[in-house]
C-alpha cells in the first residue's frame, strides 16, 4: 500500500491512504492566467498561507485556467490534481491519448523538501513553485495536443519544460547533498526522478507525433506527384484532414 512519508522527528507519522481519505479537506482554488505574466509571488503566498492555516486538513490545490473548457478538462480526467497534507505533496497527472500514444495516469508522492534537509538554505516555497511550473508544462502540452502539434505551440511547451527543469535540477542537487533522513531523502529523490521521466515522455510524445505527422504528409504528397497541380486546394485540404 502506498503511504505518505513524513518526518519521524516531527509530530506527524505515516498514515495510510484510507486514513487520509477520512481527514477533513478543503479546496484551495487558484486561477493561473497563462496568457499574461504570472504573479508567482502572489500564488506561492496563497499556497503557503493555506498550508500554514490548515495543518490537520487535506488541501486540494485546484489550479484553474480560463482554457479548461476548451482543453476538454473534466472531473473524470483532470489533467492535474494536487493534494497537500502534513507537509506531503501528492500530484496526479493525466495525459490524454494521441494518434500514436495511449492515455496515461501518473502519480507522485513526496515530502516537501524543506522538511527533509539538514539546513534552511532551501527556500520553503521551492516545491510549491515546482508544482506551478509543472502545471504550466502539462497545460501547454495539452494545448499543443489540441492544436495538432504546430511549431509555435511545440516551442512554447519546450520553453515551459526548460523553466521547470531549471528549478527542478537545482533543488534536486540541494536535497541530494543535504537531506537528514535517508528514507525520506531517498524517496523524495526517487519521485523527482520519476517526474523527470514524465517530462522526457512528453518530449518523446511531441517529437514522435510531429515526426509521424510530417512523414504521413510527405507520403500523401508523393502519391499525388505531378497530378497535385490538377487538384483544387479545397480537395487537397480535405484529403490532408480526412
Sign of the alpha-carbon torsion through 194, 198, 199, 201: positive
Q: How far is it, in rounded angstroms, from Cα 132 to Cα 130?
A: 5
- Domain segments of the chain: what residues? 17-240
How would you write the pLDDT of the chain (242 residues) with one tens digit per residue? 333 343 333 434 455 566 666 788 999 999 898 878 889 999 999 998 999 899 889 999 999 888 776 676 665 678 899 999 988 999 999 999 887 788 999 999 999 888 887 655 566 568 999 999 999 999 999 999 988 899 999 999 999 999 999 999 999 998 888 887 888 899 999 999 999 999 999 999 998 887 766 555 444 444 445 444 444 444 543 444 34
- Give CA angle at 47 (124, 169), nearest 5°: 45
What is the model's pLDDT at position 191?
Answer: 96
What is the model's pLDDT at position 64?
Answer: 87
Q: How far is it, in rounded angstroms, from Cα 157 to Cα 160?
A: 5
At 159, list the grid cell.
Answer: 520553453
Q: How far is it, in rounded angstroms, from Cα 141 to Cα 139?
A: 5
Paired residues of 82 in beta bridges: 61, 91
What is the model's pLDDT at position 222?
Answer: 45
Using alpha carbons, select from 32, 28, 6 the residue that is nearest to residue 19: 6
What is the layout of strands, in order, in the sheet containing 80-85? Answer: 25-31, 58-64, 80-85, 88-95, 104-111
Q: How far is it, in rounded angstroms, from Cα 177 to Cα 69?
A: 43
Where do the H-state alpha helices sit in the chain? Answer: 17-21, 40-52, 126-146, 151-178, 182-224, 233-240
Q: How far is CA 1 from CA 14, 17, 118, in A?
A: 12, 8, 29
pTM of the model: 0.80
What is the model's pLDDT at position 241?
Answer: 37
Amino acid at each position: 500500500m502506498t503511504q505518505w512519508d513524513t518526518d519521524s522527528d516531527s509530530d506527524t507519522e505515516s498514515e495510510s491512504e484510507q486514513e487520509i481519505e477520512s481527514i477533513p479537506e478543503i479546496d484551495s482554488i487558484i486561477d493561473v492566467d497563462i496568457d499574461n505574466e504570472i504573479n508567482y509571488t502572489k500564488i506561492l503566498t496563497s499556497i503557503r498561507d493555506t498550508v500554514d492555516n490548515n495543518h490537520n486538513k487535506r488541501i486540494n490545490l485546484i489550479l484553474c485556467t480560463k482554457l479548461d473548457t476548451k482543453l476538454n478538462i473534466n472531473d473524470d480526467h483532470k489533467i492535474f490534481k494536487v493534494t497537500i497534507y502534513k507537509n506531503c505533496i501528492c500530484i496526479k497527472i493525466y495525459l490524454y491519448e494521441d494518434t500514436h500514444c495511449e492515455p496515461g495516469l501518473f502519480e507522485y508522492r513526496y515530502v516537501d523538501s524543506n522538511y527533509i534537509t539538514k539546513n534552511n538554505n532551501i527556500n520553503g516555497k521551492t516545491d510549491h513553485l515546482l508544482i506551478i511550473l509543472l502545471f504550466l508544462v502539462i497545460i501547454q502540452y495539452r494545448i499543443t495536443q489540441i492544436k495538432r502539434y504546430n511549431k509555435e505551440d511545440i516551442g512554447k511547451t519546450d520553453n515551459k519544460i526548460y523553466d521547470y527543469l531549471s528549478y527542478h535540477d537545482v533543488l534536486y542537487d540541494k536535497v541530494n547533498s543535504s537531506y537528514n533522513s535517508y528514507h525520506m531523502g531517498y524517496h523524495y529523490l526517487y519521485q523527482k526522478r520519476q517526474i523527470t521521466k514524465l517530462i522526457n515522455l512528453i518530449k518523446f510524445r511531441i517529437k514522435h507525433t510531429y515526426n509521424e505527422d510530417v512523414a504521413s504528409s510527405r507520403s500523401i504528397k508523393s502519391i499525388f506527384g505531378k497530378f497535385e497541380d490538377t487538384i483544387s486546394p479545397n480537395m487537397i485540404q480535405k484529403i490532408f484532414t480526412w
